[in-house]
Amino acid sequence: MQNYSTLFFMVLHGVCGLIFLTSYLQLNKSQPWLTWTLKLYVAVGIVSSIIAISLQMHLLMAWIAFSFVSLTTLIMILVALVNLARSVDARYLLLAVSCSMLGLLASALSVWGVIPYTFWGFHGAEVGVVFEAMILATVLAYRLRNIERERITAQYLATHDLLTRLHNRRAFEDIAGQYLQQAENHNKPVSFIMMDIDHFKAINDNYGHHVGDQALNHIAVLLSHQQRKGDILARWGGEEIAILLPDTTLSHAIQYAEELRSLLEHNPLTVESKQIQITASFGVASGINHMDGHLDSLFRDADKRLYIAKANGRNQVAPTLDSSISA
């Protein structure tokens, strides 16, 4: 094992380098024929090494190991050169492998006496491998960071409305379902507010859809600043916004909705030095037990009361706090 382990690990190092090369440059997709060629080359290197070790032919194993590592380095450089135009990553691979090759060359020339024998010359191969690893590790770190960034972006796009940056309806329903289950298990109240912007079509018709988009964004910002910890806001669709209020009774939800209504009324949208008055109507519902706490049931109740608020003149909350107390 002492006689052959170092040589065998040299071959194994080359094999791992080729596996990394195939995955790093995604050769199985762009150049499948090359991938199969490299697999055959790897198989030949491993089988010939096993045969040499089994026959205890140390000189043959040494020749195989050094030849395999040298040829593997050249293959990696050639593959990187071929793929320079196809992949930016090939440039970093070429730089990294070049460091390893130069270090290996320095060690070989130092041992053969071609260049003066020095400590750094003798250990050039090790230094080259270290630089190779550092370069590739840095590149992989950036690649992993970009992959994670893309994953987070994709997750955000799947759960949020791009215009208002609020949750979309699907994400709202998923999160609300968890909150409602907790409310049911602990017998706690939960309230639901359905909000609709008054005369939103008139804003689009009079000022343009781009101003309508600004109005939606303006309202979302105001609501987000007023959002309490634990509340869930979502763009339900069009000009409707839904708000789930965990651990909130009906009377407190009505009071909160009234605060939101007043906030919108007293903060008009300013566009090109023009102030556009924006108001909204609110429908509020609340439930404690399983049936009343269902999101569908809460939505239906809040939606009915929303249309009552709109039918009674808009810019109001239904039910009112007084009617809720008397009821």
Crossing angle for the helix pair 209-226 and 250-265, to the nearest 10 degrees: 130
* Calpha distance 311→281 (Å, rounded): 10
Residues 125 and 14: beta-carbon distance below 8 Å: no
Active site residue 258: no
- Give the Cβ contact number of residue 279 at 10 Å: 15
* Calpha distance 255→302 (Å, rounded): 15
Q: Which among 173, 239, 258, 259 is annotated as catalytic?
A: 239
* Calpha distance 229→222 (Å, rounded): 15
- DSSP output for 40-104: HHHHHHHHHHHHHHHTT-HHHHHHHHHHHHHHHHHHHHHHHHHTTTT-THHHHHHHHHHHHHHHH
Q: Tell me the catalytic residues.
A: 239
